[in-house]
Amino acid sequence: MKKRVALAALLCAGALACPAWAQHADHHAPAQASGNAASAELIEGEVVAAEPQNHRVKIKHGEIKSLNMAPMNAMPFHVKDDALFEHLKPGGKIRFTTAKIAGVYVLLTAEEAH
Ligand SMILES: [Cu+2]
């Protein structure tokens, strides 16, 4: 629950105006779904380093069209959900989604690629 609140606050910080908490979900959910901040683009990657204590992972990734980003060798992402580290083992091939939220590249989902 605490984590949810923290993430919501982070998303909120990226918005120009943040309405009352009660309106928060209604306000942000549709924009996120339409691709304003989040992206459903599945990106190919390979885990370079996982740092659960820092909520961070470094990923060698292919092109990220939604972010207009060329492939990179070791790009750090903020991991919003610690449970994702189950899929983030150094050397492991993954498919992931990401979004730039309040200026930070956030790893939204990750799954092992087989
Ligand atoms: Cu990158």
Q: What is the pLDDT of residues 70-89, one digit of tens each?
A: 999 999 999 999 999 999 99
The residue written with tokens 């470094």 in the block is 58
Q: How far apart are CA 102 and CA 87, in angstroms?
A: 25
Per-residue pLDDT at 6: 52
Ligand 1: centre distance to CA 75 (Å)? 5
The CATH number given to whatever domain includes residue 99 is 2.40.50.320
The rounded Å distance from CA 110 to ligand 1 centre is 15
Confirm whether 38 is domain-assigned. Answer: no
Question: What spacing in Å lies between the alpha carbon of 63 and ligand 1's midpoint?
Answer: 8
The pTM of the full predicted model, rounded to 2 decimals, is: 0.66
**Count of structural domains, the chain:** 2
Cα 72 to middle of ligand 1, angstroms? 5
